[in-house]
Structure 1
Amino acid sequence: MNVKSKQLSSPFSTGGGGVHFESEVQASFVVLMLSGGYAPCLPCGPIKEIKLQGKIDGYDTDDLIVFVEKSDTREQRKLLGQIKYSISVTISSTQLGEVIQAAWNDFNNHEKFTKGKDVIALITGPLSATDTRNVQWLLSQARHTKGVDEFLRNAQQSNFSPPKSSEKLAVMKHHLKSANGGVDISKDDLYSFLNHFHILSYDLGKEVGVVLPLLHSHISQFHQQNPNWIWSRIVSIVQSWNQDAGTIIPDKLPEDLIDIFKQRAITEIPIELTTVQQISEKTDWNKHSHATDLALVSLVGAWNEKNESDIVVLTKLLGTNYDSWVPKAREILHRSDTPLLLKNGQWKIPKRVELLNSLGSWIFDQHLDTFKSLAVTVLTKLDPSFEFPAEDRYAASIHGKELAHSFTLRKGLAEGLAILGNNTNVCSNCSQGKVEDTVVLAIREIFTNSDWILWGSLNNLLPTLAEAAPEEFLSAVENALQLSPCPYDQLFLQEGKGVFGDNYLTGLLWALERLAWDEKYLVQVCVLLGELANHDPGGRWANRPANSLTTILLPWFSQTLAPFDKRKIAVETLIKEWPNIGWDLIIHLLPNQSQTSSGSNKPSWRKVIPDDWKDGVPQSEYWQQVLYYANLAVSSAENNVDRLIQLIDIFNNLPKPVIDRLIDIISSEKVLSLPEEQRRLIWDHLIKLTTKHKRYADAKWALSEELLTKIETIADKLAPSNPFNLYQHLFSDRDFDLYEEKGNWKEQQLKLDKLREEAIKEIFQQGGINTVIRFAESVKFPGQVGHALSSLNDPSIEQVFLPDFLTSEDKTHLALVSSFILSKYYINGWVWCDGLDRGSWNNKQVGIFLSYLPFIKGSWERLNQWLEKSQIEYWSHANVNPYQADEDLNYAIDKLLEYERPNAAIFCLYKMLHDKEKIDVKQCIQALLAALSSKEDTFTMDGYHIVELIKYLQADESVSEDDLFKVEWAYLRLLDQDRESKPKLLESRLTNDPEFFCEVLSLVYKSKKQDEPQKELTEELKGIATNAWHLLHNWKTPPGIQEDGSFDSSKFLNWLQQVKELSSESGHLEIALITIGEVLIHSPANPDGLWIHRTIGEALNDRNSAEIRDGFRTGLFNDRGVHIVDPTGKPEKELAEQYDQKAEDVENAGFQRLAATLRELADIYERESIRIQENYNQEDD
């Protein structure tokens, strides 16, 4: 939902410092564009253009629009940048509010912003340390968690998030709610927005900084003498272009600047000259003693010798025991020019086609029969993971539900069919047509009577199987589409809405995309994709049949070798078979409707695409295609109002002859005589069109004044005569689209508000309040109707609204009356409220009426006057916003607690804490403990507010230990070191009280004493045990540490001895020692410089402390936490070196047993480093 946004950028009104900073940031992107650098937050690729002041093109985040093209696919991506010299991430920041408003508008503008590809960036000077740590952490978490639930969990989890992350998340939610018209956005929309939103800190505009020297370094690669002068020149050019809201592309910059950044030609030694040629004899594998075996295994291509099912396949194919083949394979493997590759038990033949061409004569009919039988048997096996629901399927392998044969073998068999299907002459000693028949029959048998599970099981192999026998494969797809139920319907459902849903149709789409490259299959593929699109219910994945159609036929980047005449036939046939799918396709093929493409899946085995083929299309052919598709669109829309509206919305993207034709249609008697409701829809979109183009009349894309006049004349003829229809467009979701001029947006908003008031006045005068209500039910934002209605002083309005609408179950009525009441209050104040006749109102209606008013003392005073004893309806419904309250929040907190809204009370308490007001600690403790059993919505609980209040209690000496103990124990999961907070009292007791430590330990772990009675494990006991576990495992203060941070050796040793005695008596000695070892990783250093205190080192090194050392090793290993795997294994290598050095240090200090433990850990990391490197190298192979 988009609402109005302020004018975010006016370079002539923001002040000199801000202007200079904005120009330098814009200039930095120009330097990157000229020097071949890359834009932040986007894939690596050249910057193609930079748009300055993008408001004129319909962007709300408008200071900077950077267009980047991916080097490998030529797909276009955008960065929408808003530049602010300084900003703070707080609720009170109006600047941040404006930025979020603009970003939210653009994020929801599907014409300008592609989710999943484009990004929005706030570019600012250095942030405060708090904002840098907390906000950047939140944005990073959004991009590196698998879903919204994990993100929100991490944001609330004490051992994950920095101290004020919850507060900063609340700030983002607050501004997003404001940007969304005062309506809370869903958690999924919040997560998606944060995924796309970046904050970039630039230290430009300062005498000392990092960014400017880096930019100078870029420039100096081309001009070493005067990088300062060139930088100043670029800034000056940008300032000039900025005033004109220009678009910078390299070719339009001054010639002298272009010459400076010309790439110097570099000549490199040819690759064939870099290697010393060794003279070696090349093996003629056709004459080798194992030629037959080698030819047969080349049909399979790859297998896993650790997989028994794979070995069975090889045994049957070779006609002999696999063990007799292994020595032959190893002999071949030792040849310098071996065709085999072995790594970690995986055998592969990298150059299969070349080997088969050499050895094909050793393959006979019976070999092909065996190969076909094996391929069909293996590839028709159903994946047992489909026995699980889609959301649990990710864990199938844990339960042993995997295909018997390795994916390596399955892929090798599919590729073998594809190789044979495209090299039918390779087996010269087989019967005529045998190779082709083998492949066709294999594909036919694989897909005969295929159900959805088989298609899903073969998903990754379908592109390869399609290339093996295209006609047979397409026939199989068509047959499947005709089945009832259709197997693809069930596959679409597997995508689901959760984190773990998968797309099991990507393979089918890629298979069809591969075949579409061939002119012979294009029409059939397009019709099949159209039918698949007709089955598609939609989903989260971008791989969809309709998208494949667009990708294949894009006029500027078509992914087929079929000539345009054949493509026309494909589109016309699609429209005939599937009209709605065909319509959507031609709309996406029109100019500027599909601006990016990553290309389609290309054939791997069929040599369809010539080696010298290049992307792109001549301009003349492009416009020929556009004209054809545009005319086809107009013809398809002629008798369909909805389609005419779609064309009006992209009016300026149509070729001139087609525009003239469209104008003739919408001005025809046939359209002018349509019912008013249908005419209104066309008129509404024509008005939006003319308003936009008149507002940006100086833009290059704007329609001519002559054409706009013609359109306005038609619009006048189509305009509804009934005000009910005439004014609906004023109450839309984008106020900005209704502004008539550029410039003063506040003035434009006031004009719009006035238009709305006049519209409602006319409708009211014509049909009374009931007509206004029906009107509100027909518009997108009924709250705006209520706001406009408040300007009328007619008692009949209040008589209808009040009190009946207050208890209505109709959301439109509630939005209407709530906006009306609030607006009336802001216009007339308490005089209006007090003057209402409430004689017929019940208590619930009075309470709800007051809940729509601001959360202030005046509302509470009237509550006490009007509802002295029945106040539940107010306090249970009031929209609690303590930032509105001018005074008396303590009174409100008491009432909220009385009426069981402790989370709302905590919000008020935090506001008092934020404003440095004195807090009633008893009231605070009551609220915190009551919140544990509150029935309020869970989203009303704010972890950050709770933690801050607990920290306040911890610092207040008047709080009793018993009360603080209850609070810390209740909110233990929220308190952790990483949040700059912790359960101070609980940790202090663990550290100083051996009996408390042993008691907590016994809550988690069973006693090893056989005669110890076992308690029944109730839900309450489970909760207590979970809390105790978290207390122990987040404990980071070793015994002996004093409040001032010093270490007392005697206290440590006394504590340790008492714990040993108590835990030995209770049957918990072993786990007690392991737990102690885990906390000792936080040992202070020794005063003499040794990395561990010698007293703790002695305790760890004791011959009877094996369990403590085990815990110490476990603690160190777990302390690493979540990390990204580096394919080089470098981090693991560094950790191994680090622990080796620590082992050396403690061994030299006399702690040889502790040293051995550390070396064990170093060995673990050394082996892990090697394993990671081998795994990634294998994937590369």
Structure 2
Amino acid sequence: MNQSSPQQFVDEIISSLPEWGRNHRALVGLSDQTALLAEAAPSPFLKALECMFEGDQSGIVGLFTDRDDWSFSASGPYIQILWALEVLAWDPKLLNRTAIILAKLAELDPAPDSNKVNRPINSLRDILLTWSPNTHANLRQRIACIDIVLSEVPAVGWQLLVKLLPRSHDSFSPTQKPKLRDVAPVHHEELTFGVVWDAQHAVVTRAIALAADNEERAIVLVNSFSAFRRNDRELVLEYIDSYLIAHRCDEADPVWVALQAMAAKHEFYADSEWAMQGEELQRIRDLLDRHRPADPLYEHKQLFDEWLPHVGQYNETVDIEPDALRKEALARVLERDGPLGILELSKKAAIPSLVAQAIDIEQITQEHLITLLEAAARRPPIGDLALYASALGARRYEDVWSRLIEEKIFPLIPDAGERCYLLLGWPVNSQTWDFVELQGEEIRAQYWRRLNIFPQGDSHDELMRAVKEFRIVGRSIEALYLGHRRLAEFSSEIIMTLLSEGLIQSESKQSGTMQSYYLEAAFKELDGRDDVERFDIARLEYSYLPIIQDQQRPLVIYEQISENPHLFVEVLSHVFRGKNSPAREHVTEQEKNIASISFRLLSSFNKLPGASENSVDLPKLESWIADVRMAAAERDLAEIADQYIGKALAHSPRFETGGIWPPTEVCVVIENFASEQIETGFEVECFNKRGAYMKSMGEGGAQERALADEYSYRAAQTVKFGRTSAMLERISDSWNRMAEREDLQAEIDKLKR
């Protein structure tokens, strides 16, 4: 496109500027020419956007929402506007106006923190980036631009400063550059370390000023602290000091906690080059000591705020055991503050469950545990600490503990659900279950609905009792999942029953991503048993097919279909209606699910009937095909059945190197049945079998041409089978045509580069 063409285009559009400024359709409709339009006529373009903000903003909002027929997507029309503004931002004279428009767009953006790179705030950040600005404006002009954004669009000001704060490992996306004109100044500013540091200093000082008395913003500065230059860190510490003075209290201020965590991390990795050391780190420690909370529990809180706390100093030859450190801390708390001190610590910790998990210490007694449970019971809801305390008591004191819980704790807890919760950590055995039975039907039912572990001992009776209770509360499939390590102890009847009952129960919450693994283990266990009918296994596989179809284990249902032509047609009828049958107006959800499963089965069926490892049983294959065609004709499914027969034939095995393919027996079948639909199904599947593939840039049709040569060779090998040879030649021709299209597309792609 020459320079006059976009200018002429601009003149035509700008002739009705007020209308254009109100109508986002005209603006967005410029598509990929928007950046050229903006560059050719920057002032009218910016004026149009400014008019939209001054008047009806619905047009701008439409760029980011599903309003009208525009959608906020990875390739939405708003991107063209951003690119146009990025182009204009290279001109120092237009930088401020462009930045304000981007800031106002960012203010309207419904998802500014989206992981999509093309966001208004990200464009603004990349333009003003301290260490690699995407504008020809010099340092003074860029700082002035930041100040204007802070003043004109304060709602976006803090967001921009956070984006511009120095980071240890940073990156950016280059913005769009001018194509029609050169707006670079004659004397371009050289980006030295001094310029970058001055820019960062300007950002940090403004961030401190804007943080003011805001806790969340103060924490952001603390978390970014280590990436600042030393003089900027001094400023931040002075700000944090004054902030903590203004917010002094007995409790630990979240800003103080964040600063402590940051200091601990640098002490832990003191040998690293990036870690602060010496006087600077000591100054932080002095600041922390001056504002240390009066509550002594905060000395230990850090251990329970992170899964892997930064305690001591990192040494790759010595493993630090956080669990041991936490238990030592709880022992000190117990000695100083008693069991209620542990309860208070769990309330203050960022991860209360870590306090609960460390409670198994030698110093804690039965009386301590009862005191903990009594305090927790008086301040519901019951939390992890009470659960672990109850479990610890049950393991240590057995029958005595059951009596204490029933006499002292349960009277304080009227809710059956919370009573049940205290029992979930008890040993999974008959002694616990007998106690649960005594608590009444409601607690018993809740216990078995919420229990997520099976007995792992040697007692077969306990295992079967757990299975029975899970079945009663409708968790048959979960019983199978939780007991998968002991499947050998399950009778075949029990496994089949659990699988069958699982089909009519709600989806398991226990299985997660392991559902396929658990089911495969169950079916493998059945495969090795001779007291289960293969057809019954196939029936269950069919029901669970969406979950198990990608297993490495060969499915029995494929074997059944390849041996039972009537079953094959039955599955086919679940997906397709008869050719002359009228369309049904109402289809139930169950019928839709069955159709979906059946289609999956037909799509993944690749076993040739009558085939063994070394040969194909021709009479068996012919009999299967004849029976399928006869049964399909009775249901008016003849054509589609033939196509799926052809699909099966396309998966014929290769028995020997240099031998013909398809095997002679399959060629005979193709010749004898002489069905165009069988051949169509065969041809289609030969293309589908290719599956997913990759190509290098500009590769063209080399892969397709190799496939064409392969099928042409096969056609020559089977020349004595006329229909088969012609069919293979047609496949070869199709691959050649596809190769030509790929060659053409490769040449077109070259022209785009």
TM-score bracket, shorter-length normalisation: 0.7 to 0.9
Which residues of 2 match residues 214-613 of structure 1 at below 5 A?
352-353=2-3, 416-417=5-6, 420=7, 438=11, 441=14, 444=17, 447-451=20-24, 457-458=29-30, 460-483=32-55, 485-494=57-66, 503-538=76-111, 539-579=114-154, 581-592=156-167, 595-609=170-184
User: Take 1:468 and 1:555, find their aligned partners in 2: how far apart are those partners?
Assistant: 28
2:680 alignment counterpart:
1110
User: Take 1:1098 and 1:1173, find their aligned partners in 2: how far apart are those partners?
Assistant: 37
User: Take 2:508 and 2:295, find their aligned partners in 1: how far apart are those partners?
Assistant: 44
Kindly provide the amino acid, as one letter, of the partner of residue 11 in structure 2. T
2:709 alignment counterpart:
1137
1:981 alignment counterpart:
553
User: Where do 5+ consecutive residues of structure 1 fail to align?
Assistant: 1-300, 302-351, 357-415, 421-434
C-alpha distance after superposition, 1:655-709 (max 9, x if no partner): 33333344444445x7524342797233223322332333333333333422333
Alpha-carbon distance, 1:437 to partner: 8.1
Alpha-carbon distance, 1:566 to partner: 0.8
Q: Secondary structure at the match of 1:595?
A: coil
C-alpha distance after superposition, 1:714-735 (max 9, x if no partner): 2222222245777655542354
User: Take 2:54 and 2:310, find their aligned partners in 1: how far apart are those partners?
Assistant: 46
Q: Secondary structure at the match of 1:959?
A: coil
1:923 alignment counterpart:
494
Relative contact order, higher structure (CA 8 A, sep 6+): 1
1:695 alignment counterpart:
268
Which residues of 2 match residues 927-966 of structure 1 at below 5 A?
927-937=498-508, 940=511, 942-961=515-534, 963-966=536-539
| 1:1078 aligned onto 2:647 | yes
2:373–2:390 contact (8 Å) kept in structure 1: no
| 1:1161 aligned onto 2:731 | yes
| 1:1050 aligned onto 2:625 | no
2:480 alignment counterpart:
906
User: Take 1:648 and 1:995, find their aligned partners in 2: how far apart are those partners?
Assistant: 72
| 1:799 aligned onto 2:368 | no
Alpha-carbon distance, 1:568 to partner: 1.5
1:681 alignment counterpart:
254
C-alpha distance after superposition, 1:72-116 (max 9, x if no partner): xxxxxxxxxxxxxxxxxxxxxxxxxxxxxxxxxxxxxxxxxxxxx
Alpha-carbon distance, 1:1050 to partner: 2.3
Pick from 846, 850, 855 the counterpart of residue 423 of structure 2.
850
Kindly provide the amino acid, as one letter, of the partner of residue 737 in structure 1. H
| 1:890 aligned onto 2:461 | no
Kindly provide the amino acid, as one letter, of the partner of residue 38 in structure 2. A
Which residues of 2 match residues 152-171 of structure 1 at below 5 A?
none
Pick from 653, 662, 681 the counterpart of residue 1092 of structure 1.
662
2:353 alignment counterpart:
783
Q: Secondary structure at the match of 1:556?
A: coil
Change (3 A) 1:934 1:515: same
| 1:717 aligned onto 2:290 | yes
Change (3 A) 1:499 1:848: farther
1:443–1:469 contact (8 Å) kept in structure 2: no
User: Take 1:1019 and 1:920, find their aligned partners in 2: how far apart are those partners?
Assistant: 34
2:268–2:311 contact (8 Å) kept in structure 1: no
| Structure with greater helix share of residues | 2
Kindly provide the amino acid, as one letter, of the partner of residue 35 in structure 2. P
Kindly provide the amino acid, as one letter, of the partner of residue 980 in structure 1. Q
Kindly provide the amino acid, as one letter, of the partner of residue 598 in structure 1. S
| 1:1119 aligned onto 2:694 | no
User: Take 2:531 and 2:467, find their aligned partners in 1: how far apart are those partners?
Assistant: 21
1:1037–1:1082 contact (8 Å) kept in structure 2: yes
1:656 alignment counterpart:
230
User: Take 1:706 and 1:500, find their aligned partners in 2: how far apart are those partners?
Assistant: 51
User: Take 2:427 and 2:60, find their aligned partners in 1: how far apart are those partners?
Assistant: 54
Of 639-648 and 1094-1103, more deviation after overlay is shown by: 639-648
Change (3 A) 1:1001 1:677: same
User: Take 2:671 and 2:117, find their aligned partners in 1: how far apart are those partners?
Assistant: 58
C-alpha distance after superposition, 1:110-160 (max 9, x if no partner): xxxxxxxxxxxxxxxxxxxxxxxxxxxxxxxxxxxxxxxxxxxxxxxxxxx
Structure 1-normalised TM-score?
0.56
Q: Secondary structure at the match of 1:1047?
A: coil
Alpha-carbon distance, 1:641 to partner: 4.6
Alpha-carbon distance, 1:874 to partner: 0.9
2:268–2:313 contact (8 Å) kept in structure 1: yes
Aligned sequence identity (%): 23
User: Take 2:583 and 2:232, find their aligned partners in 1: how far apart are those partners?
Assistant: 88
Change (3 A) 1:681 1:1062: closer
Change (3 A) 1:933 1:885: farther
C-alpha distance after superposition, 1:627-650 (max 9, x if no partner): 333333344445545444333333
Q: Secondary structure at the match of 2:81?
A: helix
Change (3 A) 1:667 1:1154: closer
Q: Secondary structure at the match of 1:1082?
A: coil
| 1:1178 aligned onto 2:748 | yes
Alpha-carbon distance, 1:1080 to partner: 0.8
Which residues of 2 match residues 711-750 of structure 1 at below 5 A?
711-723=284-296, 729-739=302-312, 742=315, 744-750=318-324
User: Take 2:230 and 2:534, find their aligned partners in 1: how far apart are those partners?
Assistant: 81
1:463–1:512 contact (8 Å) kept in structure 2: yes
Change (3 A) 1:939 1:1101: farther
1:67 alignment counterpart:
none
Alpha-carbon distance, 1:596 to partner: 1.4
User: Take 1:747 and 1:681, find their aligned partners in 2: how far apart are those partners?
Assistant: 26
Structure 2-normalised TM-score?
0.85
Alpha-carbon distance, 1:828 to partner: 6.1
User: Take 1:778 and 1:580, find their aligned partners in 2: how far apart are those partners?
Assistant: 33
Q: What is the root-mean-square deviation in Å for CA atoms of aligned residues?
A: 3.9
Alpha-carbon distance, 1:487 to partner: 3.5
Kindly provide the amino acid, as one letter, of the partner of residue 476 in structure 1. A
Pick from 179, 184, 194 the counterpart of residue 620 of structure 1.
194
1:707 alignment counterpart:
280
User: Where do 5+ consecutive residues of structure 2 fail to align?
Assistant: none
Alpha-carbon distance, 1:1079 to partner: 0.7
Change (3 A) 1:1089 1:1176: closer
Alpha-carbon distance, 1:825 to partner: 5.1
User: Take 2:250 and 2:159, find their aligned partners in 1: how far apart are those partners?
Assistant: 24
User: Take 1:1130 and 1:586, find their aligned partners in 2: how far apart are those partners?
Assistant: 52
User: Take 2:526 and 2:159, find their aligned partners in 1: how far apart are those partners?
Assistant: 61
Alpha-carbon distance, 1:860 to partner: 3.4
Kindly provide the amino acid, as one letter, of the partner of residue 784 in structure 1. L
1:741–1:748 contact (8 Å) kept in structure 2: no
Change (3 A) 1:568 1:1135: same
1:757–1:788 contact (8 Å) kept in structure 2: no
